[in-house]
Amino acid sequence: MVLEGLAGLLAEDPTVEVVGTATTVERARELLIELEPDVVVADYQLPDGTGADLVADAEANNLASYVLIISGLPNEDLLSHVVGSGCAGLISKGASGQDLIDAITVVSRGAAVYPATLLQHLNRAQHEARGFEITERELQILEYLAGGSSVDDIAVDASISVHTVRNHIRALLTKLSARSQLEAVVIGVQNGLIEIPPG
Protein backbone atom coordinates (compact mmCIF):
# COMPACT_ATOMS: atom_id res chain seq x y z
CA MET A 1 0.00 0.00 0.00
CA VAL A 2 2.80 2.39 0.88
CA LEU A 3 4.67 1.56 -2.34
CA GLU A 4 1.56 2.05 -4.46
CA GLY A 5 0.81 5.33 -2.75
CA LEU A 6 4.34 6.60 -3.28
CA ALA A 7 4.41 5.54 -6.93
CA GLY A 8 1.03 7.18 -7.48
CA LEU A 9 2.18 10.41 -5.87
CA LEU A 10 5.28 10.60 -8.06
CA ALA A 11 3.41 9.62 -11.21
CA GLU A 12 1.15 12.64 -10.80
CA ASP A 13 4.09 15.02 -11.19
CA PRO A 14 4.88 15.85 -14.84
CA THR A 15 8.62 16.12 -14.11
CA VAL A 16 8.88 12.55 -12.80
CA GLU A 17 8.49 9.30 -14.70
CA VAL A 18 8.09 6.15 -12.57
CA VAL A 19 9.74 3.38 -14.62
CA GLY A 20 9.46 0.56 -12.11
CA THR A 21 8.79 -0.47 -8.53
CA ALA A 22 10.13 -3.19 -6.24
CA THR A 23 9.62 -4.37 -2.68
CA THR A 24 12.98 -6.10 -2.16
CA VAL A 25 16.64 -5.28 -2.77
CA GLU A 26 16.95 -8.33 -5.04
CA ARG A 27 14.12 -7.19 -7.33
CA ALA A 28 15.37 -3.61 -7.24
CA ARG A 29 18.79 -4.84 -8.42
CA GLU A 30 17.17 -6.52 -11.41
CA LEU A 31 15.22 -3.40 -12.34
CA LEU A 32 18.24 -1.18 -11.78
CA ILE A 33 20.22 -3.08 -14.41
CA GLU A 34 17.27 -3.48 -16.76
CA LEU A 35 15.88 0.06 -16.63
CA GLU A 36 18.95 2.18 -15.70
CA PRO A 37 16.91 4.85 -13.87
CA ASP A 38 18.33 8.32 -13.21
CA VAL A 39 17.26 8.18 -9.56
CA VAL A 40 16.36 5.27 -7.28
CA VAL A 41 14.11 6.20 -4.37
CA ALA A 42 14.57 3.43 -1.82
CA ASP A 43 13.34 2.76 1.68
CA TYR A 44 16.30 2.29 3.97
CA GLN A 45 14.99 -0.87 5.60
CA LEU A 46 13.88 -3.57 3.15
CA PRO A 47 13.11 -7.27 3.81
CA ASP A 48 16.42 -8.50 2.38
CA GLY A 49 18.77 -5.59 3.08
CA THR A 50 18.86 -1.82 2.86
CA GLY A 51 18.22 0.58 0.03
CA ALA A 52 21.82 1.76 0.40
CA ASP A 53 22.97 -1.64 -0.89
CA LEU A 54 21.86 -0.56 -4.37
CA VAL A 55 24.72 1.94 -4.69
CA ALA A 56 27.25 -0.89 -5.01
CA ASP A 57 25.12 -2.52 -7.70
CA ALA A 58 24.95 0.72 -9.67
CA GLU A 59 28.72 1.15 -9.42
CA ALA A 60 29.42 -2.48 -10.35
CA ASN A 61 27.36 -2.08 -13.52
CA ASN A 62 28.73 1.38 -14.39
CA LEU A 63 25.29 2.94 -14.06
CA ALA A 64 24.85 6.67 -13.46
CA SER A 65 21.95 6.08 -11.08
CA TYR A 66 21.67 8.17 -7.92
CA VAL A 67 20.20 6.49 -4.82
CA LEU A 68 17.97 8.62 -2.59
CA ILE A 69 17.11 6.96 0.73
CA ILE A 70 13.87 7.58 2.62
CA SER A 71 13.62 6.65 6.29
CA GLY A 72 11.03 6.95 9.03
CA LEU A 73 13.54 7.75 11.78
CA PRO A 74 16.69 9.28 10.30
CA ASN A 75 19.48 9.65 12.86
CA GLU A 76 23.22 10.26 12.84
CA ASP A 77 24.10 6.54 12.67
CA LEU A 78 21.79 6.02 9.72
CA LEU A 79 23.15 9.14 8.04
CA SER A 80 26.69 7.83 8.50
CA HIS A 81 25.77 4.52 6.85
CA VAL A 82 23.94 6.23 4.00
CA VAL A 83 26.88 8.56 3.44
CA GLY A 84 29.46 5.79 3.67
CA SER A 85 27.53 3.71 1.15
CA GLY A 86 27.75 6.49 -1.42
CA CYS A 87 24.07 7.42 -1.54
CA ALA A 88 23.14 10.78 -3.03
CA GLY A 89 20.82 11.76 -0.22
CA LEU A 90 18.54 11.01 2.70
CA ILE A 91 15.03 12.30 3.30
CA SER A 92 12.57 11.64 6.11
CA LYS A 93 9.26 9.89 5.53
CA GLY A 94 7.79 12.79 7.46
CA ALA A 95 8.57 15.11 4.57
CA SER A 96 5.81 16.22 2.24
CA GLY A 97 5.22 14.81 -1.22
CA GLN A 98 6.54 18.02 -2.73
CA ASP A 99 9.67 17.76 -0.58
CA LEU A 100 10.29 14.30 -2.03
CA ILE A 101 9.76 15.50 -5.59
CA ASP A 102 12.12 18.42 -4.95
CA ALA A 103 14.70 16.01 -3.51
CA ILE A 104 14.46 13.78 -6.58
CA THR A 105 14.96 16.81 -8.81
CA VAL A 106 18.01 17.96 -6.84
CA VAL A 107 19.58 14.50 -6.80
CA SER A 108 18.96 13.97 -10.52
CA ARG A 109 20.99 17.12 -11.18
CA GLY A 110 23.97 15.69 -9.32
CA ALA A 111 23.52 17.58 -6.04
CA ALA A 112 23.15 16.07 -2.57
CA VAL A 113 20.09 16.05 -0.31
CA TYR A 114 20.46 15.59 3.43
CA PRO A 115 18.72 16.49 6.69
CA ALA A 116 20.58 19.65 7.68
CA THR A 117 19.52 19.25 11.31
CA LEU A 118 21.52 15.99 11.51
CA LEU A 119 24.60 17.50 9.93
CA GLN A 120 24.48 20.43 12.32
CA HIS A 121 24.72 18.04 15.27
CA LEU A 122 27.70 16.08 14.00
CA ASN A 123 30.83 16.46 16.11
CA ARG A 124 33.12 19.07 14.59
CA ALA A 125 36.86 19.47 14.91
CA GLN A 126 38.75 22.74 14.90
CA HIS A 127 38.21 24.97 11.87
CA GLU A 128 41.31 23.90 10.02
CA ALA A 129 42.07 21.96 6.85
CA ARG A 130 43.52 19.00 8.85
CA GLY A 131 45.99 18.15 6.09
CA PHE A 132 43.39 17.84 3.34
CA GLU A 133 45.25 20.46 1.25
CA ILE A 134 42.03 21.86 -0.18
CA THR A 135 42.37 24.97 -2.30
CA GLU A 136 40.31 28.10 -1.78
CA ARG A 137 38.30 27.38 -4.94
CA GLU A 138 37.65 23.77 -3.88
CA LEU A 139 36.46 24.99 -0.49
CA GLN A 140 34.10 27.39 -2.28
CA ILE A 141 32.75 24.49 -4.36
CA LEU A 142 32.28 22.42 -1.18
CA GLU A 143 30.27 25.27 0.35
CA TYR A 144 28.07 25.39 -2.75
CA LEU A 145 27.49 21.63 -2.45
CA ALA A 146 26.55 22.05 1.21
CA GLY A 147 23.97 24.60 0.10
CA GLY A 148 22.37 22.09 -2.26
CA SER A 149 23.66 23.64 -5.49
CA SER A 150 23.92 21.51 -8.62
CA VAL A 151 26.91 21.49 -10.95
CA ASP A 152 25.11 23.83 -13.35
CA ASP A 153 24.17 26.21 -10.52
CA ILE A 154 27.77 26.33 -9.29
CA ALA A 155 29.09 27.02 -12.78
CA VAL A 156 26.82 30.04 -13.13
CA ASP A 157 27.37 31.42 -9.63
CA ALA A 158 31.14 30.93 -9.67
CA SER A 159 31.50 32.07 -13.32
CA ILE A 160 33.38 28.93 -14.36
CA SER A 161 32.59 26.13 -16.79
CA VAL A 162 30.65 22.99 -15.88
CA HIS A 163 33.74 20.98 -16.83
CA THR A 164 35.84 22.96 -14.34
CA VAL A 165 33.26 22.46 -11.60
CA ARG A 166 33.29 18.70 -12.18
CA ASN A 167 37.07 18.66 -12.03
CA HIS A 168 36.99 20.49 -8.68
CA ILE A 169 34.39 18.06 -7.34
CA ARG A 170 36.51 15.08 -8.43
CA ALA A 171 39.50 16.63 -6.68
CA LEU A 172 37.44 17.17 -3.53
CA LEU A 173 36.24 13.56 -3.48
CA THR A 174 39.82 12.36 -3.84
CA LYS A 175 41.28 14.66 -1.19
CA LEU A 176 38.49 13.93 1.30
CA SER A 177 38.40 10.19 0.46
CA ALA A 178 34.68 10.58 -0.20
CA ARG A 179 32.57 8.35 -2.43
CA SER A 180 29.88 10.94 -3.07
CA GLN A 181 29.16 14.65 -2.84
CA LEU A 182 27.05 13.97 0.23
CA GLU A 183 29.93 12.25 1.96
CA ALA A 184 32.23 15.14 1.02
CA VAL A 185 29.79 17.58 2.64
CA VAL A 186 29.58 15.48 5.80
CA ILE A 187 33.38 15.19 6.04
CA GLY A 188 33.64 18.93 5.49
CA VAL A 189 31.21 19.59 8.35
CA GLN A 190 32.82 17.06 10.67
CA ASN A 191 36.24 18.64 10.16
CA GLY A 192 35.09 22.23 10.47
CA LEU A 193 35.87 23.07 6.86
CA ILE A 194 32.37 24.39 6.18
CA GLU A 195 29.19 25.36 7.99
CA ILE A 196 25.70 24.27 6.99
CA PRO A 197 23.85 27.27 5.53
CA PRO A 198 20.72 28.36 7.43
CA GLY A 199 17.56 26.74 6.09
**Rounded to two decimals, what is the model's pTM?**
0.68
pLDDT one-digit tens code per residue, 129-138: 456 788 889 9
pLDDT at 120: 60
pLDDT at 119: 66
Please report the beta strands in the chain, taking only residues with DSSP state E, as ranges in sequence order.
39-43, 45-46, 49-50, 66-71, 89-92
Asked if residue 167 lies in contact with residue 176, where contact means CB atoms within 8 angstroms, the answer is no
Question: Is residue 126 pLDDT above 70, yes or no?
Answer: no
Q: How far apart are the first and last CA of the chain?
A: 33
pLDDT one-digit tens code per residue, 26-85: 999 999 999 999 999 999 999 999 999 999 999 888 888 999 999 887 777 788 788 888
Residue 197: pLDDT band (50, 70, 90) is low
